[in-house]
Amino acid sequence: MSETRIVAVGFHRLKGLLQALAPMYKAVADVEVLDKGFDEAVAELRARPADVVVAAGSNGAFLRQQLDVPVVLVKVGGFDVMRALGRARGVATRIALVTYGDVPDEVQQFDRLFGLGIVQRAYTTEEDARDVVRELKALGTEAVVAPGLVADLADEAGMVGVFLYSQDAVREALDDAIEMARIGRIELAKRERLNTVLGQLTDGVVAVDLKECIDTVNPAMAKFLGAPAEALLGRPLSEVAPELSLRHTLRDARDEPEQIHRHGNRTLVASRMPILEQGRLTGAVLTCQDAVSIHRVDRHLRARQAPREAQARYELGHLIGTSAAVVSAKARAEHCARSQATVLITGESGTGKELLAQGIHNAGSRRRQPFVAINCAAFPESLLEGELFGHEEGAFTGARRGGRAGLFEAAHTGTIFLDEVGEMPVSLQTRLLRVLQEREIVRIGATEPIPIDVRVIAATHRDLKAQVAGGGFRNDLYYRLNILGLSLPPLRERLQDLPLLFAHLLDKVSSRVGLSPAPLEAVWPDLLALGGAYGWPGNVRELENIVERLVVHGSELSGGREALRALVPEWFESAPAPSLSDQRRAADLRHVHEVLAACGGDRTLACERLGISRTTLWRRLQEDS
């Protein structure tokens, strides 16, 4: 049996034609003939909807008004009328033609042209039909050509009823119904596909007709509007959400992209667009995005792109200076770049250890691969482990769904830079040692190792040998890291590079902040003299900060050395004696290190002896960095 269901509603003589033709369509449709009164037919079709209904005359008109499904009317053509009139002429001389609705113009013209003298009448209701039959009987009519209802009434009145509809007309109506059902199924499939797509969107979508009544709304938009879709369909959008109105779009037929609206407690980004079909405006569509979702996606995108964006930017040539120490460091760095061995860079904070690490990466064979950097002092132990090694789904409360790759995986085929490696907890030092030995990592919560191809460059401002001696750093890890060693001197030990560094940073900062460096020319000799006598505890990083301060306040430098005193007071101050609190803090830190060394670096045992938590121990050690 075909999936297409056609219900043909017919009484009297039409029923016979429909029943005779129905079996011919069984290969393409299930044609069911329904012989019931108007109200009964409507009830039946509402209970079991058809794809298309076929009917004729007043019955068809009534069904069209009552049903939501398409109703195809059996149409009477001029040839059908002529053939029926011919049959009537064979049995009578006084003939009448009765049609539902208006009499076709061509029949009237034909009658006038040939002078047939045919009485023509029309009806719209059953009562009209009975009145017409009584009138025709009174006029002496012998034969009545009409639809089934009137033909039967004519027979009952003693006249000859000639059925108006031909088999060809009924067949044509059935053909039209099947084609309409086929097109309807295609359109339904398209709509279902569209609704499936719209249902998956996180963006809200609503479409309206020319009266701005909602005819399509997806679940996301229904949620935004605070009502189920079935309660929204057919309602004017302006009534549901005035701030999201599409009236201007329907009036002007132009796009309105990305406008911000407040609806309830949500901020929505709305875009409007007219719907044009074959160049004709038929409606409009509104799409809405929740601003919170946009921010969330933006954060995810930036988080995912962060490792890729953290490519090495600096070359070895960016290490400015002609002092022997700098020249030697650059030469040794170039040698390191030719190898794949682990590098340990030592030097005070602010001397340029990451710059040197990036320069080594960019001078080596991995320069087109990722360069991923992490400051080991910036995370507590629990977070640092997850950052480095990643985790599996469900490894701990709050673990990302699907798991998360760590920085070692992100740096695969490239370089990972472990800054301040001396601050790494002993428990993680063990895991790092395994990575260096086995070249594989195990995510938190996982059991299977993941092979990695990563070059490791580490840096520290601490004396790792002293930490090894005190038990704060693993001896075997130190020798695994210190295969290729580099040391960067503090700025106070290469003051001959100060003029070059001043000039370089002056150009860099001036370009970045968009201000002219010209005002500094008046105090250039003082800059070099005072800078050369300063100890530079913050090294090159401190120098760059002071240069930016001078460029920003350059208009104040006309006061010469006194102006410099106001802007850079540290150059004019002698180092103060340590306060009593500073002395106590230093003594406390020395005690912590002594206990930690006595415990062989075991922080849990050291905490027990000191009577403090691991968090307090970690914080005090950070204060000493």
Q: What digits encode the pLDDT tens for the residues 289-342?
A: 887 776 666 555 544 444 444 578 899 999 999 999 899 999 999 999 999 999
CA distance 352 to 356: 6
- What's the longest Cα–Cα distance across the chain? 137
Query: Among residues of the chain, what percentage have pLDDT more than 70?
Result: 89
Q: Which residues contact 76 (CB under 8 A, 6 or more apart)?
A: 99, 104, 164, 165, 169
**What pLDDT, on the 0 to 100 scale, is given for residue 395?**
54
Is the four-CA dihedral 148, 149, 150, 156 of positive or negative sign?
Answer: positive
**What pLDDT, on the 0 to 100 scale, is given for residue 156?**
92
Give the residue-averaged pLDDT of 124-145: 91
CA distance 532 to 492: 8
List the 95-100 sheet strands across, edge first. 119-123, 95-100, 143-146, 160-163
Residue 601 reports pLDDT greater than 80: no
Mean of pLDDT over the chain = 84
Contact 523, 547 (CB under 8 A): no
Residue 80 reports pLDDT greater than 50: yes
Contact 381, 430 (CB under 8 A): no
**What pLDDT, on the 0 to 100 scale, is given for residue 519?**
85
377 secondary structure, DSSP code: T
**What pLDDT, on the 0 to 100 scale, is given for residue 306?**
44
**What pLDDT, on the 0 to 100 scale, is given for residue 302?**
46
The model's confidence at residue 181, banded by pLDDT at 50, 70 and 90, is confident
In the block, tokens 């297409």 appear at 4
CB neighbours (10 Å) of residue 434? 15
Instruction: Give the pair of three-digit tokens for residue 36.
Output: 């019931």
Residue 491 reports pLDDT greater than 90: yes
Give the residue-averaged pLDDT of 27-43: 84
Q: Give whichever of 262-266, 358-362, 396-400 has the largest mean pLDDT.
A: 358-362
**What pLDDT, on the 0 to 100 scale, is given for residue 26?**
86
131 Ramachandran zone, left/alpha/beta (phi>0; psi -120 to 50): alpha
Torsion over CA of 17, 19, 25 and 27, rounded to 10 degrees?
-160
Least confident of 102-116, 247-261, 343-357: 102-116
Q: Which residues contact 121 (CB under 8 A, 6 or more apart)?
A: 96, 97, 98, 99, 103, 132, 135, 136
Q: Which residues contact 481 (CB under 8 A, 6 or more apart)?
A: 342, 344, 421, 436, 456, 458, 464
**What pLDDT, on the 0 to 100 scale, is given for residue 1?**
47
CA distance 175 to 16: 17
Q: What digits encode the pLDDT tens for the residues 560-598?
A: 788 888 888 888 875 444 455 555 666 677 777 777 777
The model's confidence at residue 45, banded by pLDDT at 50, 70 and 90, is confident
pTM score: 0.48
Q: What digits encode the pLDDT tens for the residues 335-392?
A: 999 999 999 999 999 999 999 999 999 999 999 899 999 999 888 887 888 888 887 7
Least confident of 117-131, 244-258, 392-406: 392-406
In the block, tokens 């990643």 appear at 390
Contact 148, 101 (CB under 8 A): no
